[in-house]
A = this chain, B = another copy of it.
Amino acid sequence: MQTIEIIGLIAAMLTTGAFVPQVYKVFKSKSTTDISLTMYTVLFIGLMLWLLYGIQKESFPIILANAITGLLVAAVIILKLKYK
The chain A residues found within 8 Å of chain B, CB to CB, are 4, 7-8, 10-22, 24-26, 29, 31-36, 38-40, 42-43, 45-47, 49-50, 52-53, 56-57
Contact = CB atoms under 8 A, between A and B. Distances in A.
Copies of the protein in its oligomer: 2
User: Taking chain A's interface residues, is the majority helix, strand, or loop, or is none over half, making it mixed?
Assistant: helix
Contact of A53 (B11, B43, B49, B57): B11
Given A15-B47, A17-B42, 10 more contacts: A4-B56, A7-B53, A10-B46, A13-B46, A14-B49, A18-B42, A21-B39, A25-B36, A26-B34, A34-B35
A11 B50 contact: yes
A12 B48 CA distance: 11
